[in-house]
Amino acid sequence: MGALEFIIPFLVLITIVVFIHEYGHYYFARKYGVGVTDFSIGFGKEIFGFNDKSGTRWKFCLIPLGGYVKFFGDRNVFSQEEQKEILSKYSKEDQDKLFVTKPLYQRSLIVFAGPLANYILAILIFAGIYMFAGKDLTPAKIEMVEQESPAFAAGIQNGDLIHSINGNKVSSILEVSTFINASTSDTVNVVVLRNEQEIEFNIIPKIVQEEDNLGNTIKRKIIGIKIAPLFNEIQKERLGPTRAIYYAVKETWFVTTATLDYVVSMFKGQADTDQLGGPIRIAKITGQVSQYGLIAFLSITAYISISLGLINLFPIPLLDGGHLMFYAFEKVLGRPLKQKTQESFFRIGLFLLFSLMFFTTFNDLRDIGLF
């Protein structure tokens, strides 16, 4: 694949998820009367843009890895001691446009709206795919259990129907491998139906290194079973809006909880940190996936949108979750944190983000063979 075949799909994907994220902030800011001076996709020098009737500058900038919404009179650090000094610089009409003068619940909703918009986008994408392209609902029957495999040792038999894995109900044959590999514990809990009775097994999977469908080297957990469709029929159907939204929410929730489990296990030193990737790996995978068509591209867009929304909710200063953490302190204390305290938190957040960027970039470069 040429470089453009990676870069163009990646830029389209990033533009979509960043625009939706920032539009969430923008929508609620405007709803609550906060002035918005800039809506930017990307950072750095402006390439092109325009002003709308409300005075907001909509623009695309040179570095497309992110974006921001700038509020009227925006300040990154604000303490109660500064309030009188800040307000004295503005007329009464302009004071009403300031973000910092809004009630705590409105500020919190404006900040939370970015990640919320990413989650709504993912749900709508999944629901749209299930309604128009269909969803696989083929029950997963175990056709063969390999001799001396973990599944064989546990007592799983040919003909068992997989009911759930790690508490996740298996509604599609395609979910079996996903649920097994999403496990962060040493064992995988598998519940099967045998003669209409549920039987539970705890299996210690093998970890093998192999290539995925895109040609990337990955570590995969296997338990030694071969899956076949029940009655040898693939059951893919287009869903109505209600069922489509149900399964879309279910998929979004699974991705969120699996990601959080991975983060927790990473801090415990139990996760494979080689799986962490940054923009380079995302661009690579996006380019590869886009070769499989629109549905595949929309699916990866939904997964990236969930990741962006979730990461922004982490209580790290400079992220949306960091601001929400400050508002929680404000609610408990009855006042904002002091300016020096907030600045200290921001330095810690900056260090954490730069450390994460360095680590993921190193993984990305190693993934493409530069290390």
Q: Is the pLDDT of residue 365 over 70?
A: no
User: What distance in Å separates the CA atoms of residue 253 and residue 260, rounded to the nearest whole number?
Assistant: 11
**Token pair for residue 182?**
């999403």
**Where do the H-state alpha helices sit in 133-225?**
150-154, 175-181
More confident residue, 366 or 27: 27
Distance of CA 307 to the CA centre of its chain: 1
User: How many other β-carbons are positioned within 10 Å of the β-carbon of residue 107?
Assistant: 22
DSSP category for residue 95: H
pLDDT at position 85 over 90: no
Closest-CA residue to 2 (of 361, 363, 287):
287
pLDDT of amino acid 314: 92
Q: Is the pLDDT of residue 285 over 80?
A: no
Structural domains of the chain sorted by starting position, each given as residue range(s) with its CATH number in brackets: 3-132+302-367 (no CATH), 136-237 (2.30.42.10)
Contact assessment for residue 81 and residue 103, using Cβ atoms and an 8 Å cutoff: no
- Predicted pLDDT at 181: 85
Q: Please give the span between the terminal C-alpha atoms of the chain, in angstroms, as a whole number.
A: 21
| pLDDT digit string, tens, across residues 105-125 | 999 999 999 999 999 999 999
Give the mean pLDDT of the chain.
85
Give the integer Cα–Cα distance in Å for 194 and 100.
61
Report d(CA 228, CA 251) in Å as an integer: 22
The DSSP symbol for 239 reads P
Q: What is the pLDDT of residue 164?
A: 93
pLDDT digits (tens, 9 = 90+) for 306-315: 999 999 999 9
Q: What is the mean pLDDT of residues 340-352?
A: 82
- Is it the case that residue 235 has pLDDT exceeding 70? yes
> Per-residue pLDDT for 364 more than 60?
no
Q: How many C-beta atoms surround the C-beta of residue 186 within 10 A?
A: 9
Judge whether 158 and 143 are in contact, CB under 8 Å: yes
pLDDT of residue 118: 97
**Residue 170: is its pLDDT beyond 70?**
yes
- The yes-or-no verdict on residue 190 having pLDDT over 60 is yes
Distances (CA, A) of 340 to 73, 107, 244, 336, 354: 20, 21, 49, 11, 21
Does an H or E element contain 78, and which?
Answer: none
218 is written with which tokens? 């990955």
* Residue in the block written with tokens 């938190």: 345
Which residue out of 22, 93, 148, 330 is catalytically annotated?
22
Return the minimum-mean-pLDDT range out of 131-135, 234-238, 319-323: 234-238
pLDDT score of 367 more than 80: no
For 269-282, how does the pLDDT look when each residue is reduced to its tens digit (9 = 90+)? 666 666 666 666 66
Query: Per-residue DSSP letters for 25-56?
Result: HHHHHHHTT--EEEEEEEEEEEEEEEE-TTS-
Range with lowest mean pLDDT among 163-167, 176-180, 188-192: 176-180
The whole-number pLDDT of residue 325 equals 92
Residue 89 tokens, joined: 């610089």
0.75 cut: is pTM over it? yes
SS3 state of residue 343: helix
pLDDT tens-digit map of 14-54: 999 999 999 999 999 999 999 999 999 999 999 999 999 98
pLDDT at 293: 86
Known catalytic membership, residue 175? no
Cα distances (angstroms) measured from residue 181 to each of 14, 142, 361: 26, 17, 24
Q: What is the pLDDT of residue 280?
A: 64
The identity of residue 293, as a single letter, is G
Q: Are strands 168-169 and 161-165 parallel, antiparallel or unpaired?
A: antiparallel
- At 282 the pLDDT is 65
CA distance 190 to 321: 35
pLDDT band for position 341 (cuts 50, 70, 90): confident
Cα 346 to Cα 342: distance, rounded to the nearest angstrom: 6
Q: Is the pLDDT of residue 77 over 50?
A: no
In percent, how much of the chain has pLDDT > 90?
44
CA angle 295, 298, 304 (to 5 degrees): 145
User: Is residue 2 pLDDT above 50, yes or no?
Assistant: yes
Contact between residue 322 and residue 312 where contact means Cβ atoms under 8 Å apart: no
